[in-house]
Structure 1
Amino acid sequence: MKAHTALGAPAVAAGLVVALLTPVGASAQAPAPRRPDPRAVAAAAADRMVAARPAAFRRAAPDKIIRRGVTSGAGGLQYVRYDRTYRGLPVYGGDFVVVTNSTGAVLGTSVAQRQKLAVSTTAKVSAARAAATSKARLTKVDEASAPRLTVLAEGAGRLVYETVVTGTLKKAPAKLHVYVDAATGKVVQQWNEVTDAADDQSNYNGTVDLSTAATSMSDPARSGIRCGGQSGTTFTGPDSAWGNGSGTDLETACVDALFAVQKEWDMLGSWLSRSGIDGSGGGFPARVGLNDVNAYWNGSYTNFGHNQAGTKQATSIDVVAHEFGHAIFQTTPGGSSGGNGNEKGGMNESTGDIFGALTEHYANEPAAYDPPDYLVGEEVDLVGSGPIRNMYDPSALGDPNCYSSSIPSTEVHAAAGPQNHWFYLLAEGSNPGNGKPSSPTCNNSTVTGIGIQKAGQIFMGGLNRKVTAWSHARARLETVNEAVQRFPGSATECNAVKAAWSAVNVPAQAGEPACGTQQNDFSLSLSPTSGSAQPGGSVTATVSTQTTGGSAQQVALSATSSPGGPTVTFSPATITSGQSSTMTVSVPAGTANGTYTITVLGDGASADRTATYTLTVGGTGGGTVYSADFETDPGWTVNPGGTDTAATGKFEVGVPQPTSYSGTNLQLAAAGGTRDLVTGASAGTSAGDNDIDGGTTSAQSPSITLPSGTLTLSFSWYLGHLNNASSDDYLRVRVVGPNGTTTVLNQAASAVNRSAAWQTATVNVSSFAGQSVRIVVDAADAGGGSLVEAGIDNVKITKS
């Protein structure tokens, strides 16, 4: 949480603690080894793939790749999402997703960017001019962010200013992201974060049993879920009996809203293996009493109005689940922005409708209430004409059934038609029987459905692969990939996905896999995993593979070095899983002494595997063993375990923008050069915009092979905070080896204003001599709301 108020508190001295943690003696009976976290396994495998295949991710030398998190899906599939920066600037459209199974085999990638970036980052238009142009896009402006230089991943790149303008657009609430060309001053893209749709007594669902606190309409079991009025304040009462069943009572509207979102939350977990609305165990508030014939999601909360007759609030199951469906769309990779005209916006609206249908089917209410169907808003009767959309026959309400080149220029709610139609055909088929409506196809084909639960799993898996440049064509490709990987060896689901897309005129795509493919898998390992060589010399290792699933497959071997210099060959270069190869790492004369990470890629027909080899060049005498000044990419990994919880202020390598508050320095310029490892490089509009908020953030060095002898680790560091900090907030640096961990810096915060100042830590790490180690940096805002900043620079290990 952003907190700038200086809190009066007694001064507490903060001290530097250097401690050596030694392993505890083994007990009589060793505990069973913990099963590796699939998210951590996926993150490590995906990171290695990014290192091994820079061309596949359109990576240019000035790019910095940032892993944003791992989402677990049905069937053990893991979706690792990434963003990138270019010369320190954020890249809009530079995102991508790497898909793995639970054991780390890379099954596929979804990349938004089409080519490497090569663009000037010097603006010709002033930020003030960009701000004025952006504000002019709204009818009424309430607030505008400072313009931020950004690179659009459009061709070789376009330098733009992004400004977020909040206010009113043609009488509707808006939170508009406007991109102004930094060379011409013209608007090149914009998108609106506000997405609209048209014992407890509910109006739509009878007497229901909600999960609420004793005296407030907040859900103790589902983080972030609560309901109240237009001020944002949660409704309260003397007990936990809510509502009177009236269509005009706002407390009753909250009963319906909470009932619906609780069912949606449970459906996501039970059917789709998603944790909460945001995929990370969290949700968002709901507001009722909007004085409008409407309901919308504004990027932070859902808001519900009433029907035109004023007899009902717009809080039926499908409408509520629709609006929270926009939150799901926003919190899956690629977010809500981008796309081709209104095409992605239409798919966002369709996503809301699909989650509405899924939630109705999961709740399975009887006919007297809000029973499962594929109509949208029929219970609300928003404008007196019954449903506002029809998923099995969109044309019945004037929306397109079929995809065409006109969809990107179609109004977003109408543009929901093709994907809504596809989902119905996939779930139920064109002639489902059993009282369910028939659905016309655009190619006169007959489609057999696979059931709404499987259809939902495939749709959710497609969203987990979503990127900024989302379209019906990409959705077809990724849902086909999901069907193949989620239901390996079965052609039924895959064929149904293809048939349903073809039935709405979205044709087969390049690279689309064949149906019924068996998910063959293999393991890949190196022996040894590290070695050393002098410039002009070489070293060898054995690459071993085993077939771990299905049948044996061909595996092509290749490798990359970070930093560059050493070259790698394999004999043989292509093997069948179960066979081995000899890897030779050659070190050209003139190669600098130091540590090099060799990432080995096994490119299989059905899956890809990676492994790393640590090469030490030189290092037999004294001098520098490892150095990272962060001026170039040192190969450090942010959130290495995939378990960081900080919402902002995550560690990144970048150019820090100094910040202060009332004379207290918080974020500093780099200790040397221009870049360092810092908790959110951007200054934002106030000191607390990009400080650490909401938990922990971590970063980890590549593996460093240490020689024998006397070894010293040194680095520059600072920790700055206001007096609203506590001892729960900290900066910590550890050296982690195969046999133990040394904490070399443990700086706790305290309830005083501490002005950041660069300091140098120097620690003897000779106990790790001869081992491969990693340096791990952690920082936290782990107590209440506080303002905490930290930085690391000039990391060096020397031998004397």
Structure 2
Amino acid sequence: MKRKYCAGLAVAAIAALAGLSNLTAVQAAVPAPDQQANPVAAARANANGLGLGAASDLRTRDVVVDADGSSHVRFDRTFQGLPVVGGDFVVHQTKAGAVKSTSGGVRALNVSTKPAIAPAAALTAAKAKAGKQQLVVFVTAAGDSRLAYKVTTSGRKADGQPTGTETYVDARSGKVLDSWSTVQEDLGSGTGLFVGTVGLDTTKGTSYTMVDPLRGGNATYNAGVLFTDADNVWGDGTNSNAQSAGVDAHYGIAKTWDYYKSIHGRNGIANDGKGAKSYVHDGAYVNAGWSDACFCMTYGDGDPAQGILPLVELDIAGHEMSHGVTSRTAGLRYSGESGGLNEATSDIFGTAVEFYAANASDTPDYVLGEEIFVDYDPARNYIRRLDKPSMDGVSADSWSRSVGRLNVHYSSGVGNHFFYLLAEGSGAKTINGVAHNSPTVNGVTVTGIGISKAEKIWYRALTTYLTSRSDYKAARAATLAAATDLYGAGSIEVQEVGKAWTGVNVL
């Protein structure tokens, strides 16, 4: 399919920026004055000139404007009216509207939009008895474009745990191209944490409800029923009182909201000021999860036989809601290395929320979910560790060619380990009474720059440079670019980002 280039837009490729894989460096003439005043209009013109899609094919997902006026416009793409899954990209521009570089995207789309198999055949291929089918253009991990059926299913396991899958079936051959879970969950087993006596923002009607009037109406439910109370004094710190888990969840969603607002200037999960829902006592399962479909979190009750209480620990709450942030920014595909990055992002920001809250009953560390175990032992009982992920026996400490074939909760170890090294450095240290020890590969010693700078670098990389198909090499490029934006080229922060990635074998 031929695409028209915008008249007067001169585009010339220049040498790739050193080390910036998946960041395309380009130069372009300054757009017309009306486009200079409108970064989206300029980005549409620039995208057209680069062959990333005509203006009519693009849907704006997000716009980030820096203090110096530079802009970063994130687009989703369609092709002959069909969504392009994996075709998302970001245009990075000067204040004047000239394009500096792009992240993600695919240039050549040459796909017939006529399927050779019926929707029912796609359902069969996806091994689903029922579900929704939608024709899309699917971009594979290799960058090829295929006409595909997107088959979406949802349900619950026998214990009540939510399930859901997104499967892409080649609309011509009937073969499954890819599939992943749509309920992004934290595979944990642990013992419940109660955050102690804390303040809760609630709403007064005929009785008090767990609806937060200060944070977009965040609401917390006892299974499917909104928590209510006569005197606005909730729970007693025991698992026998259903409200106690509700206190943790309601506190967790508030602290996560405050973290993103205070640290990153983000107004809610979707950055639209609207709250989300939390469902505790959702079923007798050892898990917790975020679902885009309901814009909500669900928390299982754990398993008393295993010494596991409801999974409402603060870093788990931050983890789950961060899946929602990822889906509305980079949209990291929940499979392969991009799936590992998706999970790592939630582990990173779940940890960051814990440090931000500085709750005396859950002192911050880089161990995820250790408090949900009745037999508290952060050296033995936890969901994941960021300092040395392989301590669980399955997660990866560093990158190898096989990382992308791991479950996303285990391939996340590469990103988690990178973040710990960047924040705290390599070697042994004790943080709030918990021993941490982070080794590296390639003989690298990492000093660390502190979590405050590290979290800002990761957030900017997520919201500005990463796209749905990003892998670990692209994450290295994105964080180097983010650190350069925030702290300057050649800064100590940029150097430490490079060392931390080298320390986990992402070169």
TM-score, with normalisation over the residues of structure 2? 0.82
- Which residue number in structure 2 is paired with residue 190 of structure 1? 179
- Which residue number in structure 1 is paired with residue 409 of structure 2? 413
Root-mean-square deviation (Å): 2.7
- Which residue number in structure 1 is paired with residue 80 of structure 2? 87
Q: Residue 203 and residue 189 in structure 1: after superposition, are their counterparts in 2 closer, same or farther (change >3 A)?
A: closer
- Which residue number in structure 1 is paired with residue 194 of structure 2? 204
Distance in structure 2 (CA, Å) of the matches to 1:75 and 1:463: 20
Report the AA paired with residue 216 of structure 1.
T
* 1:350-395 superposed Cα distances (whole Å, 9 cap, x missing partner): 11211111011111123xx100000011100289852121110112
Q: Residue 45 and residue 77 in structure 1: after superposition, are their counterparts in 2 closer, same or farther (change >3 A)?
A: closer
- Which residue number in structure 2 is paired with residue 462 of structure 1? 461
- Which residue number in structure 2 is paired with residue 438 of structure 1? 437
Distance in structure 2 (CA, Å) of the matches to 1:100 and 1:312: 49
1:230 aligns to 2:223 (yes or no): yes
CA positional deviation for 1:280? 2.4
1:181 aligns to 2:170 (yes or no): yes
SS in 1 for 2:445: coil
Report the AA paired with residue 149 of structure 1.
L
Q: Residue 74 and residue 251 in structure 1: after superposition, are their counterparts in 2 closer, same or farther (change >3 A)?
A: farther
1:361 aligns to 2:355 (yes or no): yes
Distance in structure 1 (CA, Å) of the matches to 2:381 and 2:424: 23
Gaps in structure 2 of 5+ consecutive residues: 1-33
Instruction: Please give the residue correspondences for 1:334-353 in structure 2 after superposition, counting only pairs within 5 Å.
Output: 335-337=331-333, 341-353=335-347
1:397 aligns to 2:387 (yes or no): no
Residue from 296, 299, 308 that aligns with 1:301:
296
1:317 aligns to 2:314 (yes or no): yes
Residue pair 1:248, 1:312 contacting (<8 A) in 2 also: no
CA positional deviation for 1:55? 5.4
Residue pair 2:332, 2:470 contacting (<8 A) in 1 also: no
- Which residue number in structure 2 is paired with residue 163 of structure 1? 151
Residue from 413, 419, 422 that aligns with 1:426:
422
Which has the larger strand fraction?
1
- Which residue number in structure 2 is paired with residue 144 of structure 1? 131
SS in 2 for 1:460: helix
- Which residue number in structure 2 is paired with residue 217 of structure 1? 210
SS in 2 for 1:276: coil
Instruction: Please give the residue correspondences for 1:709-724 in structure 2 after superposition, counting only pairs within 5 Å.
Output: none
Distance in structure 1 (CA, Å) of the matches to 2:37 and 2:467: 18
Distance in structure 1 (CA, Å) of the matches to 2:80 and 2:239: 55
Residue pair 1:296, 1:323 contacting (<8 A) in 2 also: yes
Distance in structure 2 (CA, Å) of the matches to 1:293 and 1:246: 18
- Which residue number in structure 2 is paired with residue 768 of structure 1? none
1:375 aligns to 2:372 (yes or no): no
* 1:206-225 superposed Cα distances (whole Å, 9 cap, x missing partner): 11011111210011111141
Residue pair 2:146, 2:170 contacting (<8 A) in 1 also: yes
1:291 aligns to 2:284 (yes or no): yes
Residue pair 1:74, 1:486 contacting (<8 A) in 2 also: no
- Which residue number in structure 2 is paired with residue 500 of structure 1? 500
* 1:542-576 superposed Cα distances (whole Å, 9 cap, x missing partner): xxxxxxxxxxxxxxxxxxxxxxxxxxxxxxxxxxx
CA positional deviation for 1:150? 1.1
1:67 aligns to 2:60 (yes or no): yes
Q: Residue 203 and residue 427 in structure 1: after superposition, are their counterparts in 2 closer, same or farther (change >3 A)?
A: closer
Residue pair 2:332, 2:467 contacting (<8 A) in 1 also: no
Residue pair 1:361, 1:372 contacting (<8 A) in 2 also: yes
Residue pair 1:449, 1:496 contacting (<8 A) in 2 also: yes
Distance in structure 2 (CA, Å) of the matches to 1:75 and 1:250: 50
Residue pair 1:72, 1:274 contacting (<8 A) in 2 also: no
SS in 2 for 1:392: coil
Q: Residue 490 and residue 87 in structure 1: after superposition, are their counterparts in 2 closer, same or farther (change >3 A)?
A: same
Q: Residue 375 and residue 52 in structure 1: after superposition, are their counterparts in 2 closer, same or farther (change >3 A)?
A: closer
Residue from 241, 250, 253 that aligns with 2:242:
250
Instruction: Please give the residue correspondences for 1:3-14 in structure 2 after superposition, counting only pairs within 5 Å.
Output: none
Larger CA Rg, structure 1 vs 2: 1
Q: Residue 486 and residue 93 in structure 1: after superposition, are their counterparts in 2 closer, same or farther (change >3 A)?
A: same
1:486 aligns to 2:486 (yes or no): yes
Instruction: Please give the residue correspondences for 1:698-717 in structure 2 after superposition, counting only pairs within 5 Å.
Output: none
Distance in structure 1 (CA, Å) of the matches to 2:68 and 2:363: 29
Residue pair 1:194, 1:297 contacting (<8 A) in 2 also: yes
Gaps in structure 1 of 5+ consecutive residues: 1-39, 508-800
Distance in structure 1 (CA, Å) of the matches to 2:135 and 2:218: 35
CA positional deviation for 1:421? 0.4
- Which residue number in structure 2 is paired with residue 153 of structure 1? 139
CA positional deviation for 1:307? 3.5
SS in 1 for 2:180: strand
Residue pair 1:43, 1:80 contacting (<8 A) in 2 also: no
Distance in structure 2 (CA, Å) of the matches to 1:477 and 1:352: 20
SS in 2 for 1:206: coil
Q: Residue 383 and residue 296 in structure 1: after superposition, are their counterparts in 2 closer, same or farther (change >3 A)?
A: farther
Distance in structure 2 (CA, Å) of the matches to 1:363 and 1:247: 23
Q: Residue 337 and residue 491 in structure 1: after superposition, are their counterparts in 2 closer, same or farther (change >3 A)?
A: same
SS in 2 for 1:207: coil
Distance in structure 2 (CA, Å) of the matches to 1:191 and 1:382: 32
Distance in structure 1 (CA, Å) of the matches to 2:320 and 2:218: 13
Residue pair 2:45, 2:55 contacting (<8 A) in 1 also: no
Which has the larger helix fraction?
2
Q: Residue 151 and residue 253 in structure 1: after superposition, are their counterparts in 2 closer, same or farther (change >3 A)?
A: same
Distance in structure 1 (CA, Å) of the matches to 2:151 and 2:92: 32
Distance in structure 2 (CA, Å) of the matches to 1:170 and 1:470: 35
Report the AA paired with residue 328 of structure 1.
V
1:44 aligns to 2:44 (yes or no): no
Instruction: Please give the residue correspondences for 1:598-677 in structure 2 after superposition, counting only pairs within 5 Å.
Output: none
CA positional deviation for 1:298? 2.3
